[in-house]
Amino acid sequence: MTYAIPALDERARSEAQERLDGLVKPLGALGRLEELAAWLCAAHGTVPPRPLDDVRVVVFAGDHGVSASGAVSAYPRELTASMVRVFLAGTSGVNVLARQVGARVRVLDVAVDADLDDVPEEVRAAKIRRGSGSIDVTDALEPGEAARAFAAGRRVADDEIGSGADLLIPGDMGIGNTTVASALVAAVLGLPADDVVGTGTGIDQAGRARKVAVIERARARAGERVSDPFELVTALGSACTAATAGFLVQAAVRGVPVVLDGVFPCAAALVAREIAPEAARWWLAGHRSTEPAQAFALKALGLDPILDLGLRLGEGSGAVQAVPVLRNARAVLTEMGRLADLA
């Protein structure tokens, strides 16, 4: 299947840069704000760009078989289900940070290893399965589940955009997420696990060594299947990876900008780009994670994060903090005076 991804409007980008050059400041003195202002103009096809008033964070929650043994994470798998309730209560990190910029947070139980019968139906609308296979010994997903999760992610993007979103931020929650994300980045980019694995939520060097070993075993098991993105996700990924990839591709199809967060959404972005190479033009990087795999993914995507605040929380918590910078970029273009009008 191919996807019709709109191009960015290069005429609007040039027009924006001309306008920036005429503002009351030295040429280029607003640094990244200028680049982002011009990018937003190119994305919206207008100078100035539209306001970014309706920002949505969608947190994809799921568990992983690899976390069952406690070998790869500092936290027990049961935490994922508990955190879904925290998101619903509005007291997670990303809930708090999203409120600071007026963004909404939606959490989706895509593959939490629990039956969350008491949560609202809309939270479970994209549920694919409970947990995933432990990638070192078996496939993460059953045949067909990756495609179903991808389609579910596309529908979520359509829902959000249909109800008015003008900026999307995919978040992630799941004990074991950095292991799966690292496996995907290593597989897509052909890197040794030891290069991409970090310390996740806070494991020690022995924990890190186990994580590297898990990923190497998983890749050996997956073999050549990793060259097909859906097979890759089936073998080494998770339902959340596929759903996030679908979300990213559909945002691009609809021409809505996305701000990527940490290592998990960036790994999903690498997968999404394998599925729809032109989708990447609609994505920005919000925040540099402390995970090496994210740095490799961003380099491959040609993206430079807006912020580097040392967060390693996931949830979309880094990316949502980049929203004020994007709004600043629009504001300077819109509100600053012009050199030509100087007394």
- The set of catalytic residues is 315
Interface with its own copies, residue 281, by CB under 8 A: no
Interface with its own copies, residue 178, by CB under 8 A: no
The residue among 34 and 139 lying less far from its own copies, judged by its C-beta, is: 34
Residues 201-260, interacting with its own copies (CB under 8 A):
201-202
Interface with its own copies, residue 117, by CB under 8 A: no
- The answer, yes or no, to whether the previous bond of 265 is cis (omega within 30 of 0) is no
> Quick count: other Cβ atoms within 10 Å of Cβ 137?
12
Span from 74-82, 120-128, 147-155, 184-192 in contact with its own copies (CB under 8 A): 74-82
Can you say whether the dihedral through the CA atoms of 305, 299, 57, 312 is positive or negative?
A: negative
The residue among 26 and 223 lying less far from its own copies, judged by its C-beta, is: 26
Interface with its own copies, residue 89, by CB under 8 A: yes
Residues 146-165, interacting with its own copies (CB under 8 A):
none
Among 68, 101, 125, 300, binds its own copies (CB under 8 A): 101
Among 14, 15, 22, 25, binds its own copies (CB under 8 A): 25
Interface with its own copies, residue 114, by CB under 8 A: no
Q: What tokens were used for 26?
A: 């030295």
Q: How far apart are CA 126 and CA 141, in angstroms?
A: 15
**Closest separation in Å from C-beta 268 to its own copies:** 20
The residue among 69 and 82 lying less far from its own copies, judged by its C-beta, is: 82
The residue among 259 and 276 lying less far from its own copies, judged by its C-beta, is: 259
Between CA 280 and CA 283, with CA 282 as vertex, the angle to 5 degrees is 70
Crossing angle for the helix pair 177-189 and 263-275, nearest 10 degrees?
40
Interface with its own copies, residue 93, by CB under 8 A: yes
From residue 146, alpha-carbon distances to 230, 246, 248 in Å are 6, 10, 15
Which residues, 6+ apart, have CB-to-CB distance to 270 below 8 Å? 184, 185, 188, 189, 297, 300, 301
DSSP assigned state of 92: S
Q: What tokens were used for 216?
A: 């190497």
Among 10, 11, 18, 32, binds its own copies (CB under 8 A): 32
Burial letters for 297-320: b for 16+ Cβ neighbours within 10 Å, e otherwise? bbebbebebbbeeebbbbbbbbbb
The residue among 152 and 322 lying less far from its own copies, judged by its C-beta, is: 322
**Closest separation in Å from C-beta 249 to its own copies:** 29
Among 1, 2, 31, 224, binds its own copies (CB under 8 A): 31
Nearest to 305 by CA among 266, 249, 276: 266
The residue among 85 and 208 lying less far from its own copies, judged by its C-beta, is: 85
Span from 119-127, 206-214, 232-240, 323-331 in contact with its own copies (CB under 8 A): 323-331
Residues shown for the chain: 343
The residue among 239 and 311 lying less far from its own copies, judged by its C-beta, is: 311
Amino acid at 250: Q
Among 12, 42, 83, 267, binds its own copies (CB under 8 A): 83
Q: How far apart are CA 192 and CA 173, in angstroms?
A: 25
Q: How far apart are CA 40 and CA 307, in angstroms?
A: 17
Q: How far apart are CA 312 and CA 289, in angstroms?
A: 6
Interface with its own copies, residue 53, by CB under 8 A: no
Interface with its own copies, residue 336, by CB under 8 A: yes
Residues 285-314, interacting with its own copies (CB under 8 A):
290, 306-313
Interface with its own copies, residue 23, by CB under 8 A: yes
Binding site for its own copies (CB under 8 A): 23-33, 74-75, 79, 82-83, 85-86, 89, 91-93, 95-97, 99-101, 201-202, 290, 306-313, 317, 321, 324-325, 327-328, 331-332, 335-337, 342-343
